[in-house]
Each structure stands twice: as C-alpha cells, then as structure tokens.
Structure 1
Amino acid sequence: MTNHKAWQRGNALAHRWTFTLLLVASLLIMALLTRSHVAALSQVWLQRLGFAPVDLWLARWDGLLTSALVTAGGLMFWQALLFVALTVGAAEWLAGTLAAFLAFWGVHLATLLLESLAIALPLHLMHLSLGTGLFVARDVGPSAGAFGALGLVIGLLPGPWRWIGGGVILAALLAVVLTASGTVDELTLQLTAELAHLIAFPLGWLIAARVDRHRKQPPKEVLG
C-alpha cells in the first residue's frame, strides 16, 4: 500500500512537471551527445547547433531551436541545468504546462528574433564593429528561456512583491549590460548573452500578466 501511494504521488508530480522533466531530459541527452557535460562544447558542435543573427539571412533557422538545448559545456552545463530546472519547474508548478512552455520556448524564440532584428542588425548596418560582432556571434544556451520562466514566476508573486522582485532583477540585468567592458570580442561575448537576459525577463513577465488576467475572469455560464 505504501509503495502504491508513493507511486501515485510520484506519478502526480511527474504530470505536474511534464514539460520541465522533458526539457531537463533533452538537455541531458544533448550534453551526453556533445560530451559538453564534462568539457567545453567543441567548435564543431557550436557551429552545428548554435545560433547567430546572420543565420536568419542564411536560412539556417534550425539553430533557433537547437541552440536552446546545448550549453558552453563543463561546469556551465550543470549550472544551466539547475537554473532551468528551478525556473521552469517553478513556472510550471505555478502556472501550468502551457504557460511554462510559452515562457521558455516562446520567450527564447522571441528574444533571439528581437535581439537579431532590433539590436544586432541595425548596429551592423551602422558599420559599428560591436554591431557586426553581435551580428555574427554564435551562441548557445537555454538561459533566455529560463529567464522568461523566471519572469513568469516573479510576475505571479502576490501583492507588491511582483513589482519589487521584478524591479530589482530588471535593474540588475540592465546594470550588467551597461557596465560591460573589455575588447570588442569580449564585449560581443558578454552582450550576446546579457542582452538576451534583459529582453527575456520582461517577456516572461508579460506572460504572467496574461495568466493573471485569465485567472481573474469569471467562469463562462453554460447554456442549457
């Protein structure tokens, strides 16, 4: 009887975290495939699975998806895996599977497109070396989607805490972007990721606002 109850409880939790478990499993499988769980991601895999804004014009659109399922590798893989499990897991627990899916994949895709079209491309067309660097920089990682999930979680906090938490995190992300320094190559690597985080977090917040409005809507009456 005890084993049966434990199985039922575990099954219920698995259903509650369906998307989170599938996403974590996908990250683990890709890490094993690329051996990035024990070492840095090789340049071969980075070129094959990563995404750069220039890919939109080269019709290499598969990187929009595959880039979210691999990391730079080594310790960064385990850090990313934990961050994804916590943020997406909390989002799915609080808002459901569909909202968590949108917060991760929807925000990930929207962030890459916004960063490519609204930042990298205009700066590249202005012939700025940093802009060209951002335009061709190839990156990987699930952090944009994870920050989208974090935005969803913070946006669902009660009372003033959503504004306090959201304001503090957004200010911190903005400060990181504004204080970035180094050579053009170093700045390119930093800003490719940090700009994505700055874009993704408020997008997740917007999903939270939609979820909150939906919850407050009165149930529709069924006409008999």
Structure 2
Amino acid sequence: MAVRLDDGLRVFLGRRRRAGAVAADDDVVVAYDGTSSVGHVVESVGVPLTEVGGLEVDGRRVAPSFRPVAGAVVSVLGVRRPQAVPEHRFLLDVHLGTPARWLRVVGVDAAYENDRDDDALITWANAERRVLLTQDRGLLCRRSLWLGAYVRGTRPREQFEDILERFAPPLAPWTRCTACNGRLAAVPKERVAPALRPGTRRSYDTFARCAVCARVYWRGAHGTRLAALVTEAERIVSTASITPHKPLNGIQG
C-alpha cells in the first residue's frame, strides 16, 4: 500500500522512512495486513490523526474507520489553517511552559501545570473541553483524548508562533495572569500599595490583580519586550485570520 502525505506532514516520518519516501516519488510504502483501518495505517507511519484534515483512498474521500484493499493509494491531507475549534481554550503539556506563559500575556486561555502525567492531561483536557497541545505523538494517538494538536518547532518562540498560526485565537492582551491563567482586573493603587516595594510605589500608578491567585501586575521593566511580543502575536493572528479557505478540523477516531 502507498501512503501519500501532504508536505507539511512529512515531518512525522522517521529519518530513514523520509529518505525512502523521497526515492519512491513521495509515497511511503506500507505493508498492509488487509484488515486495518486507514486511520490505523496513517498512524503506523507516524502521523497522529489530530494532524489530518482529510483522507482519500484511490481518490475517494473516506473516514478513518474505512478499510482499504491491498494496493490502494492513501492520500493524507493536512489540517488547513486556521483550524476551527469549538472554543479557543488550550491545555499545554509539561514541556511547553514558556509558550503557555506567552499565550497568557496575549490573553489566550492557556492552562498549564508542570507536574501532570499523560492520563491526568487527558482527563483535564476532556473535562474542560480544552485542546491539548503537545509534541508527544503517542499522547495525541490516545483514543480517549477528545481533541489535540501537535506543536511544531524546537524553540519556544517557534512553538508560540505555530499555535497562533494554527488556531488564530482571539487576543486580549494583558488580561490573564501569567502565573495561573486567571483573569486580571484593574485595582486601585492604594489597595495594593502595602504589598509593593518602595521603588514600585514611587514609579507606577496603574495596577491589576489576578482574581484567582491575587498576584499583582504593573507595566515594569519587561513592558517593552512583552509589548513587542503582543504586537507580533497580533500580526500573526491577523494574517492567519484572512486566509481565504474554509478551515478543516483534524480527524480523531
């Protein structure tokens, strides 16, 4: 059986398999047992179904549960961006702490804790209907996960930008706590003054406080750097949002 991947999905192939696929006109040759679903075949070459925008067998659109015949050609389409999701609420796994904080800076609902195992992440994502963001392909292949997405990039900035490009979430900068993801609300200076250092009391007058953990925020020394991050995020989302095609959801199951 030949599996033909969109260019954006070839990153999921192992190095040796990528080299072999190039030599075979971009098709990945797979030994087929005659009984597996096309979804199982696609996952067997390393592509999670969360990254699949559509499947075709010999030119005909099929569901992941479809069972092809030996010798069929399976075409795997990538998720088209921006991807539509029920809500722009995300859960990032333990390896994506920095992108999680940056998403909070720009006002995206991004849950994160650094001590959750795979089972706990799936339970959390399912219970709160959050899109699980991870670079763990095995986690994305778990049938119990309601919706997830693979985050591309090796550096936090690349990962942050990939999330914004893929989902184009609405932004609300400076409205979320970077520590706990809670909502921020303006607070009078006199209410937080006792907890401030003398230099901060002298230099700043505008403050916000997290409704969940009570952490206090103001535009401090890092304000310029974070403002640049917000400007770049707004540019990325604006560009992604005007993409002329209708988005397709990834396929699960």
| TM-score, structure 1 normalization | 0.27
Higher strand share: 2
| TM-score, structure 2 normalization | 0.25
The structure whose Rg is larger is 2
